[in-house]
Amino acid sequence: MFCQNFKTMTDLIPKEYAVLLHDIKQRIRSAQYEALKVVNTEMISLYWDIGRMIIERQKEESWGKSIVQHLALDLQAEFPGIGGFSASNLWRIKLFHETYALNPKLAPIVREIGWSHNIIIMEKCGDDLEREFYIRMTKKFGWSKNVLIHQIENQTYEKTLLNKTNFEKTLPQEILNQAKLAVKDDYTFDFLELGEEHSERQLEHAVILKIEKFLREMGGVFAFLGSQFRLEVGGEEYFIDLLLYHRALKCLVAIELKIGKFIPEYVGKMQFYLAVLDDKVKMEDEKPSIGIILCKSKNKTIVEYALKESNKPIGVAAYRMVTTLPKELKDQLPAPEQIAKLMEDVE
């Protein structure tokens, strides 16, 4: 009887019910997320005030370090059900206020990411520009703690600022900064489990098998559309190694995988692919397609000349199979004012 009644009820449910259910679920999730954001903002504000009060009292009363230990014990006794009042965390709270109190640009935005993310950025980053980069990227792309640590240890900040593209002259101004932040100078594919010697087909196959990790290394906001993506032009077939979609920029991204050093001829081939994508695949409301040529190695000067006359937005990057980080990157970064301007559109 129950089964019959249930079947009768399901038969009466209109087709549009699934849409209603989906919309309500999305609204609930949105409300949960907003509630979590409010809780996080209040907690960061609380820690900010506690840090300020500790600093002020230590200055006024000339108190020593032992005061923080006593404060931790008293707060834990008074609020036994609330975490975050250990001596080690109180020291972090004090350092948190000291780090950002005199920076009017960063002080408001630290409240927009989690406390654990703030600790990672505060302790692992050396200056305010680097901290701003990771704060904004964490907020924009929703990086987890593990992803954030990976990005910092893999020098994403330096590698993003040193990228080689022709975006300045080939992309609309409104998406220029976001596009420049979407391409790194160097990628680490230590998850591919390939030997030093491998073919382009083996590289592509390994990427597809570990596509989730590949997309994370590429920046975390790409969707995978396919491998050997087929284009037909003039009765002939052409195939793009990988086709991605950048969700923030709303554009197609063609990836060409090369196992050797960069050579100028690769730019001409990529220009052809982008022209066809824009004409035959891109939707009306999407931005111009972007190309990324991934090579085993590249010469900076050759890349600059090869991209100089290109009228399509193309970036050239190197990839490596092991995590060996160039130590000289920091000395090659753009001027601070250029870095600050680049991050203006990262909200």
Domain chopping of the chain, boundaries: 20-102, 158-345
Task: Please say if the pLDDT value at position 273 is more than 90.
Answer: yes
- Express each pLDDT in 22-54 by its tens digit: 777 777 777 776 777 777 888 889 899 989 988
Confidence (pLDDT) at 245: 95
User: Which amino acid is it at 125?
Assistant: C
**Residue-level pLDDT at 78:** 87
Dihedral, CA of residue 120, residue 121, residue 123 and residue 125, to nearest 10? 140
pLDDT at position 166: 92
Res. 11: pLDDT tops 70: no
CA distances from 138 to 132, 174, 309 (A): 10, 21, 35
Q: What is the pLDDT of residues 238-263, one digit of tens each?
A: 999 999 999 989 999 999 999 999 99
- 75-128 pLDDT per residue, tens: 888 888 777 888 899 999 999 999 999 999 999 999 888 999 999 999 999 889
pLDDT tens, 112-127?
889 999 999 999 998 8
CA distance 163 to 317: 7
Q: What is the mean pLDDT of the chain?
A: 86
Nearest-angstrom CA–CA distance, 302 and 262? 8
Task: Note whether 100 and 44 are within 8 A (CB).
Answer: no
| DSSP per-residue string spanning 284-321 | TTSPPPEEEEEESB--HHHHHHHHHT--S-EEEEEEES
Smallest CA-to-CA distance from 208 within 259, 182, 243, 239 is with 243
- What whole-number percentage of the chain has pLDDT above 70? 90
List the one residue out of 186, 132, 128, 138 whose CA is nearest residue 328.
Answer: 186
CA atoms within 13 A on the CB side of 232: 1
303 pLDDT band, cuts 50/70/90, is very high
Burial of 89 (0-12, 13-18, 19+ CB in 10 A): middle
Cα separation values, 183 from 143, 155, 165, 314, 317, Å? 17, 13, 8, 10, 8
Residue 2 confidence class, pLDDT cut points 50, 70, 90: very low
pLDDT average, residue stretch 214-221: 84
Confidence band of 323 (pLDDT split at 50, 70, 90): low
Among 33-37, 205-209, 218-222, top mean pLDDT goes to 205-209
Q: CB of 171 within 8 A of CB of 311? A: no
Asked if the model's pLDDT at residue 226 lies above 90, the reply is yes
Q: pTM score, two decimals?
A: 0.72
Out of 2.40.160.10, 3.40.50.2000, 3.40.1350.10, 2.60.120.10, which CATH number does the structure's domain 158-345 have? 3.40.1350.10
Structure confidence at residue 58 (pLDDT): 79
Question: What is residue 6's predicted lDDT score, i.e. its pLDDT?
Answer: 44
CA-nearest of 167, 163, 168, 158 to 183 is 163
pLDDT of the residue at 234:
93
Single-letter amino acid, residue 97: H
**For the chain, what's the residue count?**
347
d(CA 178, CA 263): 27
Q: Tens of pLDDT along 137-166?
A: 888 878 888 889 988 988 889 888 888 899
**pLDDT, position 5:** 52
**What confidence tier does 334 reach under pLDDT thresholds 50, 70, 90?**
confident
Give residue 347's pLDDT: 66
Residue 236 has pLDDT above 70, yes or no: yes
